[in-house]
Structure 1
Amino acid sequence: MAKGLGKGIGALFPGESLEQSGQVEEIQLELIVANPFQPRKIFDEETLQELADSIQEHGILQPIAVRKKGRKYEIVAGERRYRAAQLADLEVIPAIIKEFTDVQMMELAILENLQREDLTVIEEAEAYQSLMENLHLTQEELSKRLGKSRPHIANHVRLLALPEDVRTLMNDGTLSMGQGRALLGLKNKRRIPEVANKVIKQGLNVRQVEMLVQTINEEVSRETIQPKKKDIFVVAKETQLRDYFGTNVQIKKANNKGKIEIEFYSEDDLERILEILNLQDE
């Protein structure tokens, strides 16, 4: 069992492993359906194929666990083995049939994935949120139940406040958890998708994202403290320059003179802007 999971699955079946807790039977694959509480949405096709190849050569070494549901069987644990068995063109799979409550189904599915570190950060966050809502648990109670620290759970659940398209970018690995947490610091939440795309385009690391968010927030604060309506011509030119340079640009005018500020957030970003201006070193 993975470190830090507390009692885990053993808490649900004291004195025996899940594999020892029932009789193994061969069940037709066509009679088996996925766990309705499965937190995992993304299954890596390459690793599934590797498992399928292993199954074709050695068979299934560990039975899956299921519960009877009408004429079908719902998977409690072992969905990767089930999917790989389908790829291996098996007709039957060894399974343990036991009575499981919905709560046990949910906990076992989450614990199995956490132990194998199979979940993306967003899937893990959704799993924690689902457990808290369905079991009426606080973050502190859930942390004790799963053997995870409360800050670990809290940091994951906070990510669910990100817009759906940004969560999708985290699910597919385009954005990291650290970058997502930094984006949550934006005061203007509507700008999160825009800034997320900027982070990806410019390849900013977590520290650079934090600096970018701080800069944007300071701009928001200045605009809030000193609201000043800009000339329409200036706004139009700022937009044009912002699109041209791919970064924030401000035109500041006073007494018929002024300055143009072009922001950059890393050395690479500066080099990119200098290249646009054709000012790179020969």
Structure 2
Amino acid sequence: MANGKDRKRGLGRGLSALMADVSEPDAALSSAPAERFLPIEQIAPNPDQPRKRFNQSDLDDLAASIKEKGVIQPLIVREMGANNFEIVAGERRWRAAQMAQLHQLPVIVRTFSDTEVLEIAIIENIQRADLNPIEEAAGYRQLMDRFGHTQEKMAEALGKSRSHIANLLRLLQLPDDVVELVQQGELTAGHARALITAQDPSGLAKAVVKGGLSVRATEALVKAETNQGSNIFKDSTSKKAGTEKDADTRALEADLSAALGMKVQITHKNGGEEGQMSIQYGSLDDLDELCRKLSGS
């Protein structure tokens, strides 16, 4: 049977609640065509697909599964002309099937407008568990900008909290280089949220990645930068000496600055074991807190 069950498993439970342009969905579903097989060369991806990154290891795993069991869930496609079909939902399966060298794929052919196809693609991607935070945030932004959906409506339809959606949308305010680090998995959404209020999010992001700092340490680092009113990693001593600090020293400065919530500078004499560490506090309260931490009280 190819009715509402096919649509639900292929498009997600929130689709009908969000799509404003689909009229009489129940009638459309009752007359939906049955599953059929199409030659894989007649199927093409949607050029406006919002998802641009596909994890290669995940595709490898899916291709291995398809080789053994075939494509269990049919693709949703729409007809674009004679022997020409465009993917509405299921591009990941289409890519993996090509890797598995399949010659035909199970599909369900339906009629959708360009607007509906884009909205379906966005919602399907949002509901995927492996979507990175930036892609998810971009999906929410598209639904709001292009279709006028509110955060409340999306939260209700997609089973997400409004705060979850709001927090992800804030990530889009970050500089492009920080966004790229999140997309690459170098930074988590928690790291990125902590960096939103930083004066120099790009500089701090690099330090966080280099030092392997936790989200809590990143929050402390941002607080320290705010207290100082300048880039916490600017080091006038090293510039006067005309030398650059090595990566290990910079990482140690970052760790200590994050742990204390204050700017820490380390000056190590080249070729020796002596050096100097300075801690800069911004108020007497900071000094009291530093004394408390050093005394262990």
TM-score range, shorter chain: 0.7 to 0.9
Helix, strand or coil: the match of 2:257?
coil
Question: What residue number does 1:79 align with?
Answer: 91
Instruction: Quote the Cα distance in structure 2 between the aligned partners of 1:81 and 1:216.
Output: 46
Alpha-carbon displacement from aligned partner over 1:211-254 (angstroms, at most 9, x marks no partner): 11111111118xxxxxxxxxxx87942885767842799xxxxx
Q: Could you give the per-residue CA deviations for residues 149-199 of structure 1, whole angstroms, max 9, x where no partner exists?
A: 21111111110111111111111110010100001011x2xx211110001
Pick aligned residue for 1:237 from 237, 240, 246: 240
Question: Match for residue 246 of structure 1?
Answer: 250
Equivalences for 1:265-280 in 2 at 5 Å?
A: 265-266=258-259, 278=273
For residue 86 of structure 1, give the secondary structure of its aligned residue in structure 2: helix
Alignment partner, residue 204 of structure 1: 213
Task: Give the AA of the match of 1:82.
Answer: W
Query: Is 1:132 aligned with 2:144?
Result: yes
Per-residue deviation, 1:25: 2.2
Aligned-pair CA distance for 1:81: 1.2
Task: Indicate which of 97, 103, 127 corresponds to 1:91.
Answer: 103
Q: Deviations over 1:124-158 (max 9, x none)?
A: 00111111111022322332333322111111111
2:58 is the alignment partner of 1:47: yes
C-alpha distance in 1 between matches for 2:174 and 2:26: 42
What SS is found at the alignment partner of 2:157? helix
Shift of 1:73: 1.6
Return the structure number with greater relative CO, CA threshold 8 A, min gap 6: 1
Any conservation in 2 of the 1:242–1:248 contact (CA below 8 Å)? no
Q: Which moved more, 1:192-201 or 1:27-36?
A: 27-36
The answer for unaligned runs of 5 or more in structure 2 is 1-7, 231-235, 276-297
SS of residue matched to 2:108: strand
The residue aligned with 2:41 is 30
SS of the residue corresponding to residue 229 of structure 2 reads helix
User: Structure 1 residues 236, 118: closer, same or farther in 2, change over 3 A?
Assistant: closer
Q: Across the two proteins, how many residue pairs are aligned to each other?
A: 250
Alignment partner, residue 230 of structure 1? none
C-alpha separation in 2, matches of 1:107 and 1:130: 9
Match of 1:220 among 200, 221, 229: 229
What is the distance in 2 between the residues matched to 1:139 and 1:209? Answer: 28
Structure 2 CA distance for partners of 1:9 and 1:127, relative to 1, 3 Å: same
| SS of the residue 1:67 aligns to | strand
Q: Are 2:12 and 2:127, in contact at CA under 8 Å, matched by a contact in 1?
A: no
Gaps of 5+ in 1: 222-232, 250-261
Q: Take 1:278 and 1:95, find their aligned partners in 2: how far apart are those partners?
A: 69
Are residues 175 and 238 of structure 1, via their aligned partners in 2, closer, same or farther at CA, if it must alter by over 3 Å?
farther
Does the 8 A contact of 1:52 with 1:87 survive in 2?
yes
Cα distance change on mapping 1:14 and 1:243 into 2, 3 Å:
same
Deviation of the 1:89 alpha carbon = 1.0
Separation (CA, whole Å) in 1 of partners of 2:208 and 2:237:
26
- CA change 1:238–1:194 in 2 (3 A) is farther
